[in-house]
Structures are given as structure tokens and as C-alpha cells.
């Protein structure tokens, strides 16, 4: 059960409070949402990329010295989802009845995203050559992200941009990537409280949303650095665990570090067949009124990518959607949600939520 979630607004590098302050704020919000005190947490799992070796303890000691096991995990951009995965695993195994998953990130202005542009851009270029996908398709994805983020008060960027403006932006890789097609590095924090079904019943916690399937995969092909194969393998396992397929999903939060990654995600997650991502975009099947609503939060492209917090920010959005609490972003009748988070290098975490 996902008993509680919390998230603070993401902000630009250099404009945030310390990671200790941000992390504690998000944890308190999740605990308050779950109507549970920190003293009731039996284990905690903390994801981040930039921070001290025991940064999780530094953050959570502000909530109390309770002696629980606190695990720190660094898994690139999938660090937050890795913390979520470990918390779910602890509960499923019986090691804990209730646990906290927390992710945070505090970065400076000099974060180097060149490697990600090269890796994902190369995969996007291959898709363009193989399937004839035009650069305008990626521009449309970025424009869609801006429209979604305009309704998200927690997003870094809430300015609506058009596909034409995206195409006209500074070329970082001529013909392949413009500046607007990459996600903005961000600072922020998000958290979730997970518990067993029995614990939720005993303590009268919110049991409306639960994890129906979740898996983490790593690379099997050294040439698949962008995570397409790992994501596909993880999605297949989750669909098998949950007993439902991509066609049943209502709302998706997927890892769009570049606009190219979002299109690749459509295909690797089975939202469409390989090579048909362009058709999905052209048909409007990635937004409100279409087959799926993808990244209603604005995704990494507009909400921002606070590396360690991103996976739990995705969880926050999807739990709000399934509770019917997403305000102007609400996907009507949402019952099944899919989360996809990638750490280049590599890890892919895919999670299915139901209500």
C-alpha cells in the first residue's frame, strides 16, 4: 500500500535550500499524508546522487533518532525509484510492516549533462534514421510537456512553448537535439510511505492505492546505454506480475530526460509497437483526450529532473492521480498507472499502481 506521499516544489540549481532541509520537508509531508509519525517507521530507504555517504541519516535525524535501519542508494537517475523498490521489497518480504522511501537532490550550476545528450541523442538519431521519425516529433513531445506542466505548481518550468519554438531553439546537436529538448537539472525532494495491507487496516491508513507490480533491471546489452532494452524487459515483467497489459494503463509517468527518451519509452513500455512512436504523438495519444496521458506532471522535461528525487516525484504524481487529487492535471477515471524511471549506466525501474 502507498499510504502517503509528499513532494516539495522543484527549483533551479543554486536556488534551493540544503538537501537536509528539502529531504526533511518532503519526508514530513509524506508522513503527514499517511497520518503516521516518523517513530512508527521501521526502515527507511534514501536515494540521491550528489551528497555525503550517509546523507539519508543526516536528513532523517532531523525527524528523530529512532535507531531504525536507514539505507542509502545511488543508482543514477533511478535512485528515487530504487529507494521505492527497496521499501516495497522490505514490506513484501516481511522485514518491515511500514517503511519510508525518500529521494532528494541538491545540485550546482555546473552539472554536466553532455554524456546524457550524447547517449540518448544517439539512440534518437538511430530511431530517426531507421523509422523516418522527424525532429518535429520530438518538438511536439516537448511542447506537450510544457502544456502539462503549466498546471503543476511543483514544476520548475510552467511556461508553455510551441513545437515551433522548440525547433527554433539553440541546436546542441544540429538536426538531432535543440536546447529545449533536454530536461532541466533541478533541486528538490519527494517521499512515500509504504505499508502492508494488514498494517494499513490495523492502523486505519489510506489503502486506496497499491503497487500491483514492480521490477528493476540492469543492462544485458553493452550497446544499449540509453536503457531501451532494460526498460522493455522491466515492463514485460511488471505486466506479467500485475496480470494486466499496457493497453489497460490510463496514466503514465516515464523517464523523459530528453524528448527522444519519451518516444523511446512509448515503444519500450509497449504503449505502441516499435517504430510507431511518431504515430502515437501525431494521434494525440500521449495527452488528455487520447489513449494515454503521459507525464501529466510535465515530466523531467518541464517539472525538472532532481536526480535522486525524480522517481518519488513520479510516484507522488501517480498516487495523486489515482486518488483523484491531481486538480487541473487530473486524468478522468484513472485506475491504473505506470511509472518508468531510468538511471543511465544502467538501471530501469518500472512500477504499476492500482486503486
**Model confidence over 239-255: pLDDT tens digits?**
999 999 999 999 999 99
Residue 198's CB: how many other CB atoms inside 10 A? 10
CA separation for the pair 287, 236 (Å, rounded): 23
CA separation for the pair 23, 190 (Å, rounded): 7
What's the pLDDT at 345?
A: 78
Is residue 346 within 8 Å of residue 227, measured between CB atoms? yes
**Model confidence over 77-133: pLDDT tens digits?**
999 999 999 999 999 999 999 999 999 999 987 677 778 788 888 889 999 999 999
CA separation for the pair 154, 313 (Å, rounded): 10
Phi, psi (rounded to 5 degrees) for 99: -150, 155
**Taking Cα atoms as reference points, which of 156, 170, 130, 109 lies closest to residue 8?**
156
Phi, psi (rounded to 5 degrees) for 162: -95, 165
**Taking Cα atoms as reference points, which of 160, 154, 172 lies closest to residue 113?**
172
Q: What's the pTM?
A: 0.96
- Superfamily of domain covering 2-109+186-210: Thiolase/Chalcone synthase (3.40.47.10)
Number of Cα atoms under 13 Å in the Cβ half of residue 27: 29
**Per-residue CA distances from 175 to 14, 121, 130, 167, 344 (Å):** 31, 10, 15, 9, 23
CA separation for the pair 215, 262 (Å, rounded): 20
Angle at 191 between CA 7 and CA 287, to 5 degrees: 60
CA separation for the pair 318, 336 (Å, rounded): 9
Domain with CATH 3.40.47.10 in the chain: 2-109+186-210, 114-181+212-354
Is residue 148 within 8 Å of residue 133, measured between CB atoms? no
What's the pLDDT at 219?
A: 85
> What cell does 112 get?
554536466
What's the pLDDT at 220?
A: 82
CA separation for the pair 38, 193 (Å, rounded): 10
Position of cell 540492469?
Answer: 218
Is residue 261 within 8 Å of residue 127, measured between CB atoms? no
Architecture of the domain spanning 114-181+212-354: 3-Layer(aba) Sandwich (3.40)
What's the pLDDT at 338?
A: 98
CA separation for the pair 175, 183 (Å, rounded): 18
Is residue 104 within 8 Å of residue 188, measured between CB atoms? yes
| Full pLDDT tens readout for the chain, 355 residues | 999 999 999 999 999 999 999 999 999 999 999 999 999 999 999 999 998 899 999 999 999 999 999 999 999 999 999 999 999 999 999 999 999 999 999 998 767 777 878 888 888 999 999 999 999 999 999 999 999 999 999 999 999 999 999 999 999 999 999 999 999 899 999 999 999 999 999 999 999 999 999 999 998 887 676 678 899 999 999 999 999 999 999 999 999 999 999 999 999 999 999 999 999 999 999 999 999 999 999 999 999 999 999 999 999 999 999 999 999 999 999 999 999 999 987 899 999 999 9
Residue 218's CB: how many other CB atoms inside 10 A? 14
* Cα 251 to chain centroid, rounded: 13
| H or E segment to which residue 178 belongs | strand 177-178
DSSP states along 282-342: HTTTTSTTSS-EE-TT-HHHHT-B-TTTHHHHHHHHHHHHHHT--GGGPPTT--EEEEEEE
* Cα 50 to chain centroid, rounded: 18
| H or E segment to which residue 58 belongs | helix 55-60
Amino acid at each position: 500500500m502507498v499510504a502517503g506521499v509528499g513532494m516539495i516544489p522543484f527549483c533551479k540549481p543554486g536556488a534551493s535550500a540544503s538537501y537536509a532541509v528539502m529531504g526533511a520537508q518532503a519526508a514530513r509531508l509524506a508522513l503527514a499524508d499517511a497520518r503516521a509519525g516518523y517513530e512508527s517507521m521501521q526502515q527507511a530507504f534514501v536515494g540521491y546522487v550528489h551528497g555525503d555517504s550517509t546523507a539519508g541519516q543526516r536528513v532523517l535525524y532531523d525527524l528523530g533518532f529512532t535507531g531504525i535501519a536507514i539505507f542509502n542508494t545511488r543508482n543514477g537517475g533511478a535512485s528515487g525509484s530504487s529507494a521505492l523498490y527497496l521499501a516495497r521489497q522490505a514490506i513484501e518480504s516481511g522485514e518491515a510492516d511500514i517503511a519510508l522511501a525518500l529521494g532528494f537532490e541538491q545540485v550546482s550550476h555546473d552539472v554536466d549533462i553532455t554524456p546524457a545528450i550524447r547517449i540518448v541523442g544517439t539512440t534518437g538519431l538511430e530511431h530517426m534514421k531507421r523509422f523516418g521519425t522527424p525532429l518535429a516529433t520530438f518538438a511536439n513531445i516537448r511542447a506537450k510537456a510544457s502544456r502539462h506542466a503549466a498546471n503543476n505548481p511543483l514544476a520548475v518550468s510552467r511556461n508553455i512553448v510551441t513545437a515551433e519554438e522548440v525547433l527554433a531553439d539553440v541546436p546542441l546537436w544540429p538536426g538531432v537535439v535543440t536546447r529545449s529538448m533536454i530536461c532541466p537539472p533541478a533541486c528538490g525532494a519527494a517521499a512515500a510511505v509504504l505499508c502492508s495491507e494488514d498494517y494499513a487496516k490495523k492502523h486505519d491508513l489510506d489503502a486506496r492505492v497499491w503497487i500491483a507490480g514492480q521490477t528493476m533491471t540492469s543492462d544485458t546489452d553493452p550497446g544499449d546505454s540509453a536503457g531501451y532494452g532494460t526498460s522493455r524487459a522491466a515492463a514485460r515483467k511488471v505486466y506479467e506480475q500485475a496480470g494486466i497489459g499496457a493497453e489497460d494503463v490510463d496514466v503514465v509517468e516515464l523517464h523523459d530526460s530528453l524528448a527522444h527518451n519519451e518516444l523511446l519509452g512509448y515503444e519500450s513500455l509497449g504503449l505502441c509497437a516499435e517504430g510507431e512512436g511518431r504515430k502515437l504523438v501525431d494521434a494525440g495519444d500521449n495527452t488528455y483526450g487520447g489513449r494515454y496521458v503521459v507525464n501529466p506532471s510535465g515530466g523531467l522535461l518541464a517539472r525538472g529532473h532532481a536526480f535522486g528525487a525524480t522517481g518519488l516525484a513520479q510516484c507522488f504524481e501517480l498516487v495523486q492521480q489515482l486518488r483523484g487529487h491531481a486538480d487541473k492535471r487530473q486524468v478522468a477515471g484513472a485506475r491504473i498507472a505506470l511509472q518508468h524511471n531510468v538511471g543511465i549506466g544502467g538501471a530501469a525501474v518500472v512500477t504499476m499502481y492500482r486503486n
